[in-house]
Structure 1
Amino acid sequence: MSEPLLKIDGLTKTFHVAKSASGNTRLKALDGISLTVGRGETLGLVGESGCGKSTLARTLMMLETPDEGAVSFEGTNPFGLRGKELLSWRRRVQMVFQDPFASLNARMNAGDIITEPWATHRGLYPTSREREARVRELLHMVGLRPSDACKSPQEFSGGQRQRIGIARALALNPDVIILDEPVSALDLSVQAQVLNLLNELQQELGVSYIFISHDLTVVRHVADRVAVMYLGRIIETGATEEVFDHPRHPYTAALMSASPKLDVSGAKQDRIVLEGELPSPLDPPSGCRFRTRCWQAQDICSEVAPEPQVLSALGTRHVAECHFPLDSIKGLKATSASVPIATAPATASAP
């Protein structure tokens, strides 16, 4: 296997906040994150709100500085770069934001928005003729017309605005694009169009994606591999189909069971209902952070934090941080007798 394009090892990020009920003022948003992203690969990053997904994205964009750990981009640590080397690296990792209505400057037209990065990275397209040709090419790549360059963001629909955001991210010819909930603010039909566009661009350009989302259906459609986050930790990673069909961590199994499914057979669906509230990241539980909501928790779970275990059963690398991982082949059925289950009709549309 070739070396990964991006490698994250033991990344930690702590924020100082107002004092909690226990007197703690340190919020560890990232706690030992380790991930890899291959060239041309899509890594899906899922988890509940507040688990640290966006903090990880901001850290990889160098908008936050990690406390500990290492980031390697083709063998280079970007946090050790300075001056022209840092400027050159920054163009290689770009971001598409969640809200297409807030991420575009209403005082600029589409062409100016797309070309704005070139004001900093002057060497890419030094002449006006090159810049004009590249803007037309980028608009065509994202499914817009050259005449759209003169329009302001207010003249576009939500899907069209997100296409402009994608064109802006592509303007610097990046190797990695971080997509932070890129379709959550769009209608379903528009979501499909944008997702298909992202797939086509990846096939054409070989760009890698880190796709952050809470929508598991979307992640299953676009991701090659999935990483599941819980309270600042990556608790399970693996190939998309294996993680979705054979979740090994109880939290992942709960997420998968809560995802709405279309079943025309009329059969009832069993759904795992987690008991208790999500713990505060200011005061995470000792040992395993999920133990306070886990139906499989035992004494060791409160005393010892679980180490990552390689639990592959289908020929791919599948890792979970759990003392008592679920059965890899039978999945939920193997533990259904001990799982708090809510039985819902197949037509239920919400977890």
Structure 2
Amino acid sequence: MAENPGTPLLDVRGVTKSFGHGRRRLTAVDGVDIRVERGQTLGLVGESGCGKSTLARVVLGLERPDAGSVRFDGTDPFTLKGRELLAWRRRVQMVFQDPFASLNARMSAADLVGEPWRTHRDIVPTARERDRRVHELLSLVGLRESDAHRYPNEFSGGQRQRIGIARALALEPDLIVCDEPVSALDLSVQAQVLNVLSELRERLGVSYVFISHDLSVVRYVSDRVAVMYLGKVIEHGRADDVFDRPLHPYTAALMSSAPRLEVSGAAHDTEIPLRGEIPSPYGIPSGCRFRTRCWKSEPRCAETAPAAISREPAAHTGREPHEALCHFPLDG
């Protein structure tokens, strides 16, 4: 449970993470700020290679940042050791992209869900309590009590992902990082899993960092959205603000290229070009890193990196600012 209710659950500021040596050093995350409030979902969007998963590994404590700070409920997890670190790891869990690869094929659903209790033995001290909690968690994610003794190959992809979610919930975390949790599933199954995640948030108050390249999925589950490009967050704000009135040309191009069913003549049907491939992270363009693919690019974009611009909400709404890094933001 939250120990410092007046602070954000997750507060990441100026985080940078690089890999490699010398001239072949790759900056995967470059000065990123994100925030997750209690009971909210932050959607993290961007093309493959933009740094989403590296940022997730920093949030999970699996990668130490080169610069910047990470605060979880006001505490820097990278200063913790021993029992304090073990206690913190209970509070942050993960749901993986591939529900089959993330589950041990030789373990039953009951063993998979209860696996975290082997490390955190104080949570479920007896076998009877363990069985009760396994059945409770399976029921919570929409599986039957009789499923406890089945193995991963006996479940569908969506059911396997539900087992992964139940396992993530076993330690009663405050935050779950979901890294492309539905991308390997059929559309109908995606909807089922997304509904489970939403229901769990409402019931348990858990927060999510939800990573995806699928904008329709992100819009469905997220309160706030951060759009990443080549290691930087180039636009962020409330989900409705970002998707209804994007400021950055990259965000608008992503939305334009996303498949949708509408056949009306609305303005959203206008196609916006997203030229070429994302540049190599070993050769990030000067100035604005999106300029090599942007239809609004001008010489200024190559000369200087853009500062943050903000579209302020109406004072009476109480909504947070909607910001982007762009010399020539969209009018929206």
* Structure 1 length-normalised TM: 0.89
Show structure 2 runs of 5+ residues with no match: none
Deviations 1:220-257 (A, max 9, x none): 11111110000000000011111001000110111111
Distance 1:137 1:263 in 2: 41
1:24·1:283 contact (CA, 8 Å) conserved in 2? no
Distance 2:193 2:311 in 1: 34
Other-structure match for 2:250: 251
Q: 2:285 matched to 1:285?
A: yes
5, 10, 16: which one aligns with 1:6: 10
Other-structure match for 2:310: 310
**Closer, same or farther: CA 271–2 of 1 in aligned 2, 3 Å:** farther
**Closer, same or farther: CA 321–2 of 1 in aligned 2, 3 Å:** farther
Distance 1:192 1:137 in 2: 22
**Closer, same or farther: CA 267–303 of 1 in aligned 2, 3 Å:** closer
> What amino acid maps onto 1:30 in structure 2?
V
1:8·1:36 contact (CA, 8 Å) conserved in 2? yes
Other-structure match for 1:156: 155
The alignment-based identity, stated in percent, is 66
Cα deviation for residue 2 of structure 1 reads 4.6
1:10·1:34 contact (CA, 8 Å) conserved in 2? yes
The RMSD of aligned alpha carbons is: 1.6
Q: Which runs of structure 1 show a deviation greater than 6 angstroms over 4 or more consecutive aligned residues?
A: none
**Closer, same or farther: CA 25–150 of 1 in aligned 2, 3 Å:** same
> What amino acid maps onto 1:12 in structure 2?
T
Other-structure match for 2:42: 43
> What amino acid maps onto 1:8 in structure 2?
V
Show structure 1 runs of 5+ residues with no match: 18-22, 332-351
Deviations 1:252-304 (A, max 9, x none): 11111112222244779321112233111011011111111112222322122
2:8·2:38 contact (CA, 8 Å) conserved in 1? yes
Distance 1:250 1:31 in 2: 20
Other-structure match for 1:226: 225
Distance 1:313 1:122 in 2: 48
Distance 2:201 2:274 in 1: 37
Q: 2:179 matched to 1:180?
A: yes
> What amino acid maps onto 2:177 in structure 1?
I
Q: 2:201 matched to 1:197?
A: no
Other-structure match for 1:27: 26
Distance 2:120 2:12 in 1: 26
Q: Within 5 Å, which residues of 2 pair with 1:1-351?
A: 2-16=6-20, 24-265=23-264, 269-313=269-313, 315=317, 316=319, 317-327=321-331, 331=332
2:42·2:208 contact (CA, 8 Å) conserved in 1? yes
> What amino acid maps onto 1:174 in structure 2?
P
> What amino acid maps onto 1:126 in structure 2?
P
**Matched position secondary structure for 2:61:** coil
Paired residue total: 323
